[in-house]
Amino acid sequence: MSKNSEKGRKGELAVCAIFSNIGTHERNIEVIRDNKTCTPERGVDLVVFCPHNTSNKLDEIAEKGDSEIGLSNTEISVRVQVKNFSGAIGKATMEEFVEDSKKNPQFAEHWGVGGLRLTKGAKEVLENANKNVPTKWYTADSITKIQAQYPERPFVNLNDETPK
């Protein structure tokens, strides 16, 4: 496996673990990793089945550090694309992410994860994409804040608390 493939694999597995862990805290969140890394998948690294307002809650956590938003009972499917980048997400990467959204109309929302920040061009592409379908990008800082709201639960303690 190439160095970039290994980096991608680690990123995908980490994001899968983060969203799976959120599912131990919140009701109605399920995560699927359907393919191995570097398998042609039309821009779908993960599929998250979740309440329709989950991204609103994640956005608020990323912005403010916490959220009191209660999750809906209405479920949607979300395409997640992971970019394990140690720098900024640029316009070209964001354009590719948005193009992959068009290839996957079966998803209600599209979330990108990775990078330290978004360039001005990437932000513009993301903003325009949102005019058609909810499209989000969570940088490393955003994911760190989200992860902090959902501490890992040891397997032996999974049944000690009822999900929210």
Three-class SS of the chain: CCHHHHHHHHHHHHHHHHHHHHHHHCCCCEEECCCCCCCCCCCCCEEEEEECCHHHHHHHHHHHCCCCCCCCCCEEEEEEEECCCCCEECHHHHHHHHHHHHCCCCCCEEEEECCCEECHHHHHHHHHHCCCCCEEEECHHHHHHHHHHCCCCCHHHCCCCCCC
54-101 residue pLDDT tens: 999 999 999 999 999 999 999 999 999 999 998 999 999 999 999 999
CA separation for the pair 82, 19 (Å, rounded): 12
Q: Which residues in 106-136 are b (16+ Cβ under 10 Å) and which e? A: ebbbbbbbbbeebbebbeebbeebeeebbbb
Residue-level pLDDT at 40: 59
CATH fold for the domain made of 3-152? Trna Endonuclease; Chain: A, domain 1 (3.40.1350)
Give pLDDT tens digits for 113-155. 999 999 999 999 999 999 989 999 999 999 999 999 999 988 8
